[in-house]
Every structure is written in C-alpha cells, then in structure tokens.
Structure 1
C-alpha cells in the first residue's frame, strides 16, 4: 500500500521515522512519500522526501502572518503532490495548523485520512474536535487520558502507547553515566542540573535568564543548558555570558540522564525528562495577561504532560509573567538529593512510566494502521 506522511517539525520527523519503520515491518510492500526531515528520509528513502520541515516550520502568530503567502503556496504544492501520487492513506503526524487543512482537503477528494498524534484540543482550540470528527477516518492518540477525552466528543481513538518511549529506549543503552558525561564535556566534579529552556527563540529568550539566576543560588551544582542544533550558539551565549553555565548542543537526552534534576519549560520535554527518570521542576514565563487568561483559555488544570497523564500535580509548575526565583529555588531544592520531595517524585515518575506503556508503540500503531487499511479493502 501507499502511505503519504506529513510532519512539520523535529518531533514529528522522529515519530514519523519510527512509524515508517513499523509500517515496513507490518506491510513489506509499503511505498512512502512524505513531508518531514532527515530521520524520515533515512527510514523511508531520501528520494521520497518532498519537502523538509526546515522550509515549512513557522512558529507563532507573527511568523505565520509574515509567511502566509509561502504557507498557502506550500499547501497547494502538497495537495498537488498527494493528488498526483494517489496514496491509499494520508497520515498526518501532529502539526495541526497545516495537517488539519490537509485532512479536510484529502477527505473531500476521497483519500482516507489517519491522524497520528492528535492535536491538543483538550488544552486549547477545542473547536477542532468537530473537524477531526468530520475529516479524520481514524485518530491515533499517544496519551492515556486521551482515551477518555475523545469518546466524550464522539470519536473512538486508538491508543497503543507513546512513541517517545521507543525513542528513549533506543537511546538508553548509549547514554553515558554522569561521570562519563562530565569527562566528555570537560566539566568539573560537581553534580549536574540540566536546564531545558525550550527549542524556539522565544522560549530561550523568556526562560533562560530566570534559569541563569536560579543557577547562581546553587554553587554546589553545575548547570548545563541543553542546546538545540537548529538555533545558533550566539543565542545561548547572549544569556550565559559570565555565568559559568555550559551549553551542550544536540545532547538533550544525554544531559538530562546525567543530571540529578532538571528545570524544564513546558512541552514534550517535560515528558521526556520524566521518562528518563530525572526529577524536574517546570517553569514557563509568559505575558501577564496570558497568565490571567489561562483559566479561561486552557481546558486542562496543568500544562505539563507529566501531571496531565498522572491526573495530579506530581511536578511543580511555575507559570508566571514575573517568575518567582524564590519559589523556583524552593521547588528545585526539594527534588535534589537529600530534598524532602525527591523520593515522592521518583515514585511518581515510575508510576508515569507504567501508565504510558512500554516500548514498541510505533510498531503497534503501524500494525493497527495496516490492519485498518486491509479491512477496508476487503469490504
């Protein structure tokens, strides 16, 4: 069968690549064409990559508005390519701003639509539920709590675990010990605290200065920033100058695994940190009016995926316009070795790993997709 996948950012590229590997096992005759990145190209063939996410990633309202003409042109290009290739199924991988429009177009043109990694409609933009119900043939979800959410809105989702577990378990055997990590990066002997400040310019700008101030209160620890390769080093150096804090690029899992604790911005990184077993504090600085509007805009009581999946506040969330350095210090001390909350958090993280499910999710999702398509051809 022919699978056309669309992913528009690094995380989608990773999960899309793992899904392609699973589809190849479940359907040895599978053919692929996709929008994605280097990982999907490695899994599905570089000749099948039609557009790299570096050309399609526009974050924030300002960037979207500035590039509206480009986005519309890319949408037309994608539609023309899908129509010419005539796949058995369009697999939308996250990336809802683009993929929900593609799902509607595909449905209107008689192409079956699978949505892999559902839009976070349970947090905001709940009006998208209606579009999912109308234009998506099968929704594949990766968080346990989504199994209860979507049926309440007339959608029967498929849950087979979380592909992040696959990504982490694939890397776990090669992760260095804390001592090896320190030697490799010429760090001193002090224990490490990881600073995961985000993957976008705005997140770095808003969160890293607080993290630098926080590090100054813990001279007995060395703080290491997890840099991402698609942002220039100068962006980090601007905020780290004179602090003594190191930035290690493209070593996020290695840094978190070597750390005694982490300070993490909200997003997927909160779940990755938890699955690696590292205690964390979640911080996120936003505009004052967004903090005031949060109870009215967000449909969920927490922002971190750890708390959402456990159904309680297991990790502290400090979401403020003027972040309290005192509270951040108090919460971090509590989860460092010897802290009053460390044992409880380690137990919570172990529970989370059980709730999320074991490795092999990508292959299980792939088998379900192939099974659905084969059942359709028999009808």
Structure 2
C-alpha cells in the first residue's frame, strides 16, 4: 500500500520512523511519501517532501507571524496528496496543520489514521468533532486519552507509548567511557536540556547555568539540539560546562540529574530513570494566553499528567529562578526525594504499557479498510 505520513517536529520524526519500520515488517509492498525529518528519510531511503525544520512554529506569536508560510505549506501538502493518491494518510500529532489535511484527504476518499493524539484534553476540546468527521482510526499513546475520546463517543485505540520502544532498544552504557569519548572531566554530570529553538535555548541556558557556582563538584553538560550548530553553544562552554550533540539519551543515562525544558524530553528523562526538574518560561503574553485557553490541567509535564500527581517539580515562569533551582536540584541529587522519584518512574513505565506501541499501531494501520 501507499502511505503518506506527516510529522511536523523532531519527536514526530522519531515516532514516525519507528512506525515506518514496523509497517515495512507487516506490508511487503509498502511505498512511503512523507513530511518529516532525517530519521524518516533513513527508513524510506528518500528525502521528505518538506523537512519539519521548515514547519515547526511554536507559540501563539510565532504562528501568527508565520501564518502566510503555514498556509502556503498546507496548499503544497494538499496538492501533493492529490497527486500521490495514497491508500492511507497517517498524521503524527501537529494538529493545527494535520486536521486541515485530514479534512481534505477525507474529501478525496483517502483513509485517515491519526497516530499520537493532539492534546485536546488540555485545550481546543472542540476539535474532537473534527476528528469524528475526518479521522477513521485514532491511535493514542497516553492511557487517559482513551477515556477522553470514549467520553466524546470516539473509538480510540491505546497502543502504548512509542518512547518505550526507542528506549528499550538502547545498548547498555558506561558513564566513564562516555565522559572520555566526549572530552568530559571525571566529575558527575548534571544534564541540561534547554529545548530546540534558538531564543528558547538562550533564555533557558542562562537560567539553568545560574546555579553552577552552587554545584562545583559537578560538571554541566548541554544536550545540543539537531536544529542548532555547535558554534551557537560555544559562548556557554568552559571548563565545567560542556556540550554534546545528537547524544541526548547517552548523556542522560550518564548523568546524576537533569534540568529539562518542558516538552517530550521530560518524559524521555523519566523513562531513562534520571531524576529531573522541569523548567518552563515563555514570554508573558504567550503565558497569559495559554493560561486562558488551557483548562482543567494541573501540570505541564507529561510525567505528572500521566501519574496524576506531582512526581517531578515544575518551575514555571517566575518560579523558575536560581534560588528554587538550587533547592530542588539539591533535593534530587541525593536523599529521600530522589528515591521517591525513582520509584514513581517505575510505576510510570508500568502505566504506559511496556514495549510494542509501533507494532500495535502498524497492525491497525496495515489492516485499515
């Protein structure tokens, strides 16, 4: 069958690439065409129609400023789907774009599968009606999402979380070897995951590194984003602040603790069993808008949302400051809070259902009639 896949960001590229591998195992006559990234390109042995780096506009202001580009990309995508005529359209999260494409594909009689639900339970719940009309199969990766859709009379399949697939396949790592191979010193590591966009990274790194004088027995190591060059990070690097690129999982597994900007990375860090502090700060305008449109949500990190309690500390806006970072980081480097967090991470993995999300999703997609 012919599959057209749309992933609009780095995490979507990862999950879509694993899904593509699973589809290839189940459908010997597979053809792919896709919007995504390098991981998908490696599986398909071809370039994406559009790379996610050209699509990823985050935040209300950034989307508004780039609306013309977004609308142009939607038009290109529609024309390309009509020309390609896939048997199945697979949408990976990225709702602002993908729900428009779902409606168009349905008008052409193409089967539409949504893998990794938009966070409609947090905001824009009205989009459920769009999904009812234009999506044939909804595949969700968070256990509470199945109940959310059931409430709205949508039959959603919980397939498990694909991050467990990616993490369970990792080979064991030796922290001392990792340090030597990457030019790090012998001190224990505190990993810094400041995000992926230039302005966000600069803001978050300044805040994260403000604690360094309080932790002289540790070295801080920045996880570089694929979208940013090594030169960009040089101004932050010195004897006890280092940088590694494209090795985030290995860095985390070699670390004592991590400071992580809110997003998928907070869940990845927890699943790798590394105690963390979740950090979030946006422009005050974006934050005030978000507060008014996000409803009935007590937490911003996926870890806390899934567990429905505060497992990891969230420092948001003004709470994200040097004093609070020092206090919380001290509490997870050693002691009772660290042990409690690690115990909760074990329960988190159990809640997410274990390995096999990509295989379960592929089985449903290949058998879509």
| TM-score where L is the length of structure 2 | 0.93
Cα deviation, residue 27, structure 1:
1.8
Relative distance call for 1:310 and 1:330 in structure 2 (3 A) is same
Residue from 267, 272, 289 that aligns with 1:271: 267
- Whether contact under 8 Å (1:145, 1:308) holds in the other structure is no
Q: 1:350 to 1:86 in 2, by over 3 A?
A: same
Where 2:5 maps in the other structure, the secondary structure is strand
Provide the rounded CA distance (Å) in 2 between the counterparts of 1:41 and 1:233.
Answer: 23
* Residue 288 of structure 1: how far off its partner (Å): 4.2
Task: Find the aligned partners of 2:312 and 2:118 in 1 and give their Cα distance.
Answer: 23
* Cα distance change, pair 352–197 in 1 and its aligned pair in 2 (3 A): same
| Unpaired stretches in structure 2, ≥5 consecutive residues | none
Matches of 1:324 and 1:13, distance apart in 2: 33
Task: Tell me which residue corresponds to 1:346.
Answer: 342
What does residue 72 of structure 2 align with?
Answer: 73
Confirm whether residue 359 of structure 1 aligns to residue 358 of structure 2. no
Cα distance in 1 for partners of 2:21, 2:237 equals 43
Q: Which has the higher mean CA deviation after the structures are superposed, 65-74 or 151-160?
A: 65-74
Bigger drift between 58-67 and 73-82 goes to 58-67
Tell me the equivalent position of 1:180: 177
The aligned residue for residue 298 of structure 2 is 301
Could you tell me how far 1:229 is from its partner in structure 2?
A: 2.5
- Please give the TM-score of this superposition, normalised by the length of structure 1: 0.91
Partner Cα distance (2:284, 2:91) in 1: 34
Q: For 1:34-183, what aligned pairs fall within 5 Å after superposition?
A: 34-46=34-46, 49-170=48-169, 172-173=170-171, 176-183=173-180
SS at match of 1:216: helix
The number of aligned residues is 368
Is the 1:285–1:322 Cα contact (8 Å) retained in structure 2? Answer: no
Matched, 1:211 2:204: no
For residues 257 and 287 of structure 2, the distance between their equivalents in structure 1, rounded to whole angstroms, comes to 26
Partner deviation per Cα, 1:130-155 (whole Å, 9 max, x = no partner): 22222211111111121222211222
Q: CA deviation at 1:258?
A: 0.3
Is the alpha carbon distance of 1:110 and 1:127 closer, same or farther for their aligned partners in structure 2, counting shifts above 3 Å?
same
In 1, the alpha carbon distance for the partners of 2:287 and 2:49 equals 40
- In the TM superposition, residue 319 of structure 1 has moved relative to its aligned partner by 0.6
Q: Report the CA distance between 1:62 and its aligned residue.
A: 4.3
How far the C-alpha of 1:291 sits from its partner, in A, is 5.2
How far 1:279 moved relative to its partner? 0.8
Flag structure 1 segments of 5+ consecutive residues without an equivalent.
Answer: none
Q: State the distance in 1 between where 2:286 and 2:227 align.
A: 27
In structure 2, the residue corresponding to 1:321 is in which secondary structure? helix
The corresponding residue for 2:277 is 281
The separation in 2 between residues aligned to 1:166 and 1:207, in whole angstroms, is 29
- Mapping of 1:225-236 within 5 angstroms? 225-236=222-233
- For the 8 Å contact 1:271–1:306, the answer to whether it is kept is yes
